[in-house]
A and B are shown apart, each in its own frame.
Chain A
Amino acid sequence: MTRDAIGQSLTRLEDPPLVTGRGRFIADVNFPHQLHMRVVRSARAHARIVSISTEAASALPGVYAVWTAADIPEIGPIDFREGKIEKLEPYRQPVLAKDMLRYVGEPVAVVFASDAYIAEDAADLVEIEAEDLAPIIEADAAPGVFAPGLSTEAAILNQGFGDIAAAFANAHAIVEIDVKIGRHSGVPLETRGAIGRYDTARDILELHGAAKVPHKNRESLAKVFGRGTTGLHMFEYHVGGGFGVRGEIYPEDILVLAAALRFERPVKWIEDRREHLVAANQSREQRHKIRAAVDKDGLLLGIDNEFWHDQGAYPRTHAMRVADTTCGILPGPYKLAAYRAIGHYRLTNKTPAATYRAPGRYETNFVRERLLDAIAARLDMSRIELRKRNLVRKDEMPYARPLSVLEDDVSYDSGDYAGLLDKSLERIGWDALQDELKARRAKGELVGAGLALFVEKSGLGPTDGAHVRVDTTGAIEVITGGASVGQGFETVMAQVCAETLGADYRNIRVIHGRTDRIDFGIGAHASRATVMTANAVRAAALNVRAKALDVAAELMQSEPAALDIINGQVVRRDAPGGASMSLGQIAGHLRPHSPTRRGRDPGLSCDGWFDSEHQTYPYGNQIAVCAIDRQTGAVKIERYVIAYDIGRAINPMLVRGQILGGFVQGLGGALYEEFTYDETGEPLATTFADYLLPTLSETPDVEVILAEDAPSPRNPLGIKGAGESGIAAVGAAIASALDDALGVSGAIVQLPVTTQRLKRILRELGK
Chain B
Amino acid sequence: MKQDLTLHVNGRGYDISVEPRKTLADALRDDCGLTGTHLGCEHGVCGACTIIADGEPLRACLMFAVQAEGMQVRTVEGLAKGNEWSPLQKAFVEHHGLQCGYCTPGFLMLATSALEENPQIGDDELRDLLSSNLCRCTGYENIVKAVRAAAAEMEAAR
Interface residues of chain A, those whose CB is within 8 Å of chain B, are 11-12, 14-25, 27-28, 117, 186-191, 238-241, 243, 272-273, 485-488, 653-654, 656-657, 659-665, 687-689, 693, 695-697, 699, 701-702, 726
Interface positions, chain B 94-128, Cβ under 8 Å from A, are 94, 96, 98-105, 108, 127-128
Candidates A23, A488, A663, A665; contact of B36 at CB < 8 Å: A23
Q: Across the interface, do A188 and B136 meet the contact criterion of CB distance under 8 Å?
A: yes
Chain B minimum-CB-distance residue to A118? B19
| Measured CA separation A12–B144 after assembly (Å) | 18
Q: Across the interface, do A19 and B108 meet the contact criterion of CB distance under 8 Å?
A: yes
| Measured CA separation A187–B43 after assembly (Å) | 16
Does chain A have a CB within 8 A of B79? yes
- Minimum C-beta distance from B34 to chain A (A): 7
| Measured CA separation A663–B141 after assembly (Å) | 11
| Measured CA separation A21–B29 after assembly (Å) | 11
Candidates B35, B80, B100; contact of A28 at CB < 8 Å: B35
- Nearest first, the 5 A-B pairs at minimum CB distance are A21-B36, A486-B100, A18-B101, A240-B102, A660-B139
- For A697, list chain B residues within 8 Å (CB): 127-128, 131
Q: Across the interface, do A190 and B93 meet the contact criterion of CB distance under 8 Å?
A: no
Does chain A have a CB within 8 A of B59? no
Q: Across the interface, do A241 and B80 meet the contact criterion of CB distance under 8 Å?
A: no
Q: Across the interface, do A702 and B141 meet the contact criterion of CB distance under 8 Å?
A: yes
Known: A20-B80, A21-B75, A189-B135. 17 other contacts (CB 8 A): A19-B89, A20-B85, A21-B105, A23-B101, A25-B35, A27-B29, A27-B38, A189-B46, A273-B40, A485-B100, A486-B100, A654-B96, A657-B142, A659-B139, A660-B140, A697-B128, A699-B141
Q: Across the interface, do A688 and B46 meet the contact criterion of CB distance under 8 Å?
A: yes
9 interchain pairs, CB-CB under 8 A? A16-B93, A18-B98, A189-B48, A189-B134, A190-B40, A273-B46, A653-B96, A656-B96, A701-B141
| Measured CA separation A273–B93 after assembly (Å) | 28
| Measured CA separation A692–B122 after assembly (Å) | 26
Q: Across the interface, do B139 and A19 meet the contact criterion of CB distance under 8 Å?
A: no
- For A28, list chain B residues within 8 Å (CB): 29, 35
Chain B minimum-CB-distance residue to A486? B100
Given A240-B102, A696-B131, A20 and B43 touching (CB < 8 A)?
no
Chain B minimum-CB-distance residue to A29? B35
Chain B minimum-CB-distance residue to A242? B100
| Measured CA separation A360–B48 after assembly (Å) | 31
Interface string of B18-46 (1 = CB under 8 A from A): 01011000000100001111111111011
Q: Across the interface, do B139 and A664 meet the contact criterion of CB distance under 8 Å?
A: yes
Does chain A have a CB within 8 A of B66? no
Q: Across the interface, do A190 and B134 meet the contact criterion of CB distance under 8 Å?
A: no
Chain A minimum-CB-distance residue to B39? A27
| Measured CA separation A23–B99 after assembly (Å) | 12
- For A661, list chain B residues within 8 Å (CB): 99, 136-139
| Measured CA separation A14–B127 after assembly (Å) | 26
Given A21-B35, A665-B136, A189 and B100 touching (CB < 8 A)?
yes
Q: Across the interface, do B34 and A21 meet the contact criterion of CB distance under 8 Å?
A: yes
Given A27-B35, A117-B21, A241 and B136 touching (CB < 8 A)?
yes
- For A190, list chain B residues within 8 Å (CB): 38, 40, 100, 102
- For B133, list chain A residues within 8 Å (CB): 695
Q: Across the interface, do A272 and B76 meet the contact criterion of CB distance under 8 Å?
A: no
- Minimum C-beta distance from B109 to chain A (A): 10
- For B99, list chain A residues within 8 Å (CB): 241, 486-488, 657, 661
Interface residues of chain B, those whose CB is within 8 Å of chain A, are 19, 21-22, 29, 34-43, 45-46, 48, 75-77, 79-80, 85, 89, 92-94, 96, 98-105, 108, 127-128, 130-144
Chain A minimum-CB-distance residue to B79? A20
| Measured CA separation A36–B41 after assembly (Å) | 19
Q: Across the interface, do A241 and B34 meet the contact criterion of CB distance under 8 Å?
A: no
Given A687-B43, A688-B41, A688-B46, A117 and B36 touching (CB < 8 A)?
no
- Minimum C-beta distance from B140 to chain A (A): 4
Q: Across the interface, do A689 and B130 meet the contact criterion of CB distance under 8 Å?
A: no
Given A25-B38, A273-B43, A688-B43, A189 and B102 touching (CB < 8 A)?
yes
| Measured CA separation A654–B100 after assembly (Å) | 12
Total number of A-B contacts with CB less than 8 angstroms? 164
Among B19, B98, B130, B142, the most chain A Cβ lie within 10 Å of the Cβ of B98
Candidates A19, A23, A117; contact of B19 at CB < 8 Å: A117
- Minimum C-beta distance from B92 to chain A (A): 5
Candidates B38, B45, B77, B127; contact of A696 at CB < 8 Å: B127
Give the interface SS of chain A, mostly helix, strand, loop or mixed: loop
Given A20-B85, A27-B39, A273-B41, A15 and B98 touching (CB < 8 A)?
yes
Among B43, B48, B136, the most chain A Cβ lie within 10 Å of the Cβ of B136
| Measured CA separation A694–B14 after assembly (Å) | 37
| Measured CA separation A493–B40 after assembly (Å) | 29
- For B127, list chain A residues within 8 Å (CB): 696-697
- For A689, list chain B residues within 8 Å (CB): 43, 45
Q: Across the interface, do A187 and B100 meet the contact criterion of CB distance under 8 Å?
A: no
| Measured CA separation A488–B29 after assembly (Å) | 26
- For B40, list chain A residues within 8 Å (CB): 189-191, 273
- Minimum C-beta distance from B29 to chain A (A): 7
- For A12, list chain B residues within 8 Å (CB): 93, 96
- Minimum C-beta distance from B25 to chain A (A): 11
Candidates B42, B135, B139, B141; contact of A272 at CB < 8 Å: B42
Chain A minimum-CB-distance residue to B137? A661
Chain B minimum-CB-distance residue to A697? B131
Q: Across the interface, do B77 and A20 meet the contact criterion of CB distance under 8 Å?
A: yes
- Minimum C-beta distance from A218 to chain B (A): 23
- Minimum C-beta distance from B7 to chain A (A): 16
Chain A minimum-CB-distance residue to B134? A693
| Measured CA separation A657–B100 after assembly (Å) | 11
Q: Across the interface, do B139 and A699 meet the contact criterion of CB distance under 8 Å?
A: yes
Q: Across the interface, do B136 and A243 meet the contact criterion of CB distance under 8 Å?
A: yes
- Minimum C-beta distance from B28 to chain A (A): 10
Q: Across the interface, do A117 and B136 meet the contact criterion of CB distance under 8 Å?
A: no
Chain A minimum-CB-distance residue to B43? A687
- For A656, list chain B residues within 8 Å (CB): 96
Q: Across the interface, do A21 and B76 meet the contact criterion of CB distance under 8 Å?
A: yes
| Measured CA separation A122–B141 after assembly (Å) | 43
| Measured CA separation A11–B89 after assembly (Å) | 13
- Minimum C-beta distance from A642 to chain B (A): 11
Among A25, A28, A688, A696, the most chain B Cβ lie within 10 Å of the Cβ of A696
| Measured CA separation A28–B105 after assembly (Å) | 14
- Minimum C-beta distance from B143 to chain A (A): 8
Chain B minimum-CB-distance residue to A28? B35
- Minimum C-beta distance from A513 to chain B (A): 14
- For B96, list chain A residues within 8 Å (CB): 11-12, 653-654, 656-657
- For A657, list chain B residues within 8 Å (CB): 96, 99, 137-139, 142
- For B103, list chain A residues within 8 Å (CB): 189
- Minimum C-beta distance from B73 to chain A (A): 13
| Measured CA separation A662–B99 after assembly (Å) | 12
Q: Across the interface, do B93 and A688 meet the contact criterion of CB distance under 8 Å?
A: no
Q: Across the interface, do A238 and B101 meet the contact criterion of CB distance under 8 Å?
A: yes
| Measured CA separation A657–B98 after assembly (Å) | 9
- For A241, list chain B residues within 8 Å (CB): 99-100, 102, 136-137
Q: Across the interface, do B139 and A726 meet the contact criterion of CB distance under 8 Å?
A: yes
- Minimum C-beta distance from A261 to chain B (A): 26
| Measured CA separation A212–B42 after assembly (Å) | 25
| Measured CA separation A699–B108 after assembly (Å) | 20
- Minimum C-beta distance from B113 to chain A (A): 16
| Measured CA separation A27–B102 after assembly (Å) | 11
- Minimum C-beta distance from A115 to chain B (A): 9
Q: Across the interface, do B100 and A687 meet the contact criterion of CB distance under 8 Å?
A: no
- For B134, list chain A residues within 8 Å (CB): 189, 688, 693, 695
Q: Across the interface, do B89 and A188 meet the contact criterion of CB distance under 8 Å?
A: no
